[in-house]
Structure 1
Amino acid sequence: MAEGSALTRDFPVTADLPMAGAGSRWLAGERWTPADPRRASTVMLVRDGSAGTEVFMLRRVSGMAFAPNTLVFPGGGCDVRDGDPDLPWAGPAPEEWARLLGCDSAVAQMYVAAAVREVFEETGVLLAGASADAPLADVSGAQWREVRRSLVDRELSLTGVLEEAGLVLRSDLLAVKAHWLTPEFEPRRFDTWFFAALMPAHQEADGDTSEADESAWVWPAETIVAFARGEAVMLPPTLVCLEEIAAAANAEDFIRHTEHLRLIMPTIVSTPDGPAMRISVS
């Protein structure tokens, strides 16, 4: 989806998709004021496996207000404190991320910090070390589980956690891959940047989060087949990103910035086969 590419695809809206009800009403002509999108970040955590590149995925619990029962990458909404100017930082500065994301540096910092915070909250993987070239932190102890809980409950900020531990956020370990906006008809909308990161050695992704009932390292090609068979539920951004991971030569090859990304907002359309979400990039 880089600049200059052309892409138009339709994704069938089946009854098991969380968007089906609101999408059908919108397609039938109902209109309401679209919700203001919330800034969010998600992270494709990848590694090399025996059958190719693997990615860590979660299945959201059925009680979630947004996208219940769907397979997702770790991620979530930005916290205003992610933009704290005192956040310990190493790697490309927020100004460089602003160039990549096409926004101001304060907002760019929020997206990058949210990516690091959310992947730690939901998987236990912390992209932070004592310095720009030091090994990443050992976060295997029980005290770090309590830190994760406190971050989820917003009792702690990422700035406070890193300062207390003497760590710096490693922005160089993230690559930006996609930018999606939730359709207008959704009651909860997110302006989401998709990042990628290589699974760090000596850390473990555990999926220990109340927002998911299953977690696993998956092979993208198999998961795409499961979706086609109706055995897995995914939203269009997740499916498109899985296809891109499956096409990568290896995990390290995938961890490269995709520059000049365009914002993609699916629209709902009527097709001969029924309602579909259409994405168009030209």
Structure 2
Amino acid sequence: MLPMPAPWRDEAEHWNEDDALPPAKPRWAVAVMMLRDGPDGVEVFLEYQTARSGLGAVTFVGAPLREDDTAPLPWTGPVAARWSQLLDVDDAELAQRLVCGAARVAFERAGVLLASSDGDRAAEVTSGPDGERRRLEVHDGERTLGDVLRRRALDLDTSLLRPLSRWISPTFLHKRLCTQYFAVVLPLGQEPAPLDGVTGWGRWCSPTELMADPASTALGDEIGQPDTVGQRVEDLVLPAVLIMLRKLANLSCTISYVSEKRPSRQFEPVLVDEAGTPMLRVDGLPAPARPVVHSL
């Protein structure tokens, strides 16, 4: 069983299956887990999003797909048909849209450009006034990721992305997402950073520390938003992120995670009542990993 995230709690408490309308159709979204090795194990980049995003108050870099994620762009790495197999979706166009959406989100929200030139990966500076302006233009729909890549004579390098699981919001929610999660191998020389005026908060976090005391409100208090202050980690993140943080907390390095070959899995939390408390059950989850003791 998993705790009910704070943003879902009101709808869960007022849900009546007998009186419910047909479930809302989920909207596609993408989220990108950025990883690095830290002094105490794996670290992951987390950001704050308002409740309107549907991805949780604290989440990996992510956003719903947009229409311009179908815009043509220079491409290298696995082709769309291969991504269709990796993501277990029947439509190669949808697979390409998910990959392009993930790359677009990584650039606009974190300033990470997943790109290469003639097969060679090179550090691309996306910080500074020009980088911030380009990120805002992409975020506001004034420019596409393809425009940014062509301006710099770069190709989208899809080999930098690793597919993870796909999660569908529970049926009791009025606004639902079908979120495809990816992990990313950061290109050399790039460092994620929040987008001024949009993200508000984002930094590297240690899953080991977060999961050592999931009842702590320190992270929410640090972010300092009305929907985060006084909230526990398990209230701030959605089930998918909580489960992935638990796994990352048991890893000693990133390479073992990004190189792991995993089948495409889709999960959908189900509302259950535990002694009068709304909880979530997720069927088909793998067994928890054995804890790793990090050396001092």
Correspondence for 1:118 = 105
Correspondence for 2:173 = 186
Asked whether the 8 Å contact 2:54–2:175 carries over to 1, the reply is no
Q: How many residues align?
A: 268
Deviates most, 173-182 or 201-210: 201-210
Asked whether the 8 Å contact 2:211–2:249 carries over to 1, the reply is no
Is 1:138 equivalent to 2:125 in the alignment?
A: yes
Distance in 2, matches of 1:211 and 1:145, equals: 11
Correspondence for 1:4 = none
How does 1:145-184 map onto structure 2 within 5 Å?
145-184=132-171
Distance in 1, matches of 2:57 and 2:148, equals: 30
Asked whether the 8 Å contact 1:127–1:136 carries over to 2, the reply is no
Deviates most, 225-234 or 240-249: 225-234
Correspondence for 2:9 = 20
Measured after TM superposition, the shift of residue 69 of structure 1 is: 6.9
Correspondence for 2:38 = 49
Distance in 2, matches of 1:24 and 1:209, equals: 36
Distance in 2, matches of 1:258 and 1:228, equals: 32
Asked whether the 8 Å contact 2:166–2:181 carries over to 1, the reply is yes
Q: Given the superposition, is the C-alpha separation of residues 211 and 183 from structure 1 closer, same or farther in structure 2, using an over 3 Å criterion?
A: farther
Measured after TM superposition, the shift of residue 49 of structure 1 is: 0.6
Give the alignment's TM-score, normalised by structure 2.
Answer: 0.84
Is 1:280 equivalent to 2:267 in the alignment?
A: no
Is 1:92 equivalent to 2:95 in the alignment?
A: no
Q: Could you give the per-residue CA deviations for residues 85-110 of structure 1, whole angstroms, max 9, x where no partner exists?
A: x3111111111111011122111111
Q: Given the superposition, is the C-alpha separation of residues 48 and 150 from structure 1 closer, same or farther in structure 2, using an over 3 Å criterion?
A: same
Measured after TM superposition, the shift of residue 209 of structure 1 is: 4.7
Asked whether the 8 Å contact 1:176–1:256 carries over to 2, the reply is no
Measured after TM superposition, the shift of residue 231 of structure 1 is: 3.0
Q: Given the superposition, is the C-alpha separation of residues 249 and 221 from structure 1 closer, same or farther in structure 2, using an over 3 Å criterion?
A: closer
Asked whether the 8 Å contact 2:30–2:181 carries over to 1, the reply is yes
Asked whether the 8 Å contact 1:12–1:276 carries over to 2, the reply is yes
Distance in 2, matches of 1:68 and 1:129, equals: 29
Distance in 2, matches of 1:19 and 1:206, equals: 28
Distance in 1, matches of 2:119 and 2:27, equals: 31
Distance in 1, matches of 2:154 and 2:265, equals: 33
Asked whether the 8 Å contact 1:227–1:234 carries over to 2, the reply is no
Unaligned runs of 5+ in 2: 217-230, 286-296
Asked whether the 8 Å contact 1:27–1:270 carries over to 2, the reply is no
Correspondence for 1:231 = 232
Q: Which amino acid aligns with 1:21?
A: D
SS of the residue 1:212 aligns to: coil
SS of the residue 2:35 aligns to: strand
Measured after TM superposition, the shift of residue 134 of structure 1 is: 3.1
Distance in 2, matches of 1:265 and 1:41, equals: 16
Asked whether the 8 Å contact 2:160–2:186 carries over to 1, the reply is no
Distance in 1, matches of 2:93 and 2:124, equals: 26
Distance in 2, matches of 1:225 and 1:28, equals: 36
Distance in 2, matches of 1:97 and 1:255, equals: 16
Q: Given the superposition, is the C-alpha separation of residues 108 and 209 from structure 1 closer, same or farther in structure 2, using an over 3 Å criterion?
A: farther
Correspondence for 1:204 = 191
Asked whether the 8 Å contact 1:27–1:269 carries over to 2, the reply is no
Give the alignment's TM-score, normalised by structure 1.
Answer: 0.88
State the superposition RMSD in angstroms.
Answer: 2.0
Q: Could you give the per-residue CA deviations for residues 142-169 of structure 1, whole angstroms, max 9, x where no partner exists?
A: 2121111011111111122211221111
Deviates most, 211-220 or 236-245: 211-220
Deviates most, 94-103 or 157-166: 157-166
Q: Percent identity?
A: 29
Deviates most, 123-132 or 40-49: 123-132
Is 1:11 equivalent to 2:2 in the alignment?
A: yes
Asked whether the 8 Å contact 2:75–2:158 carries over to 1, the reply is yes
Q: Given the superposition, is the C-alpha separation of residues 113 and 68 from structure 1 closer, same or farther in structure 2, using an over 3 Å criterion?
A: closer
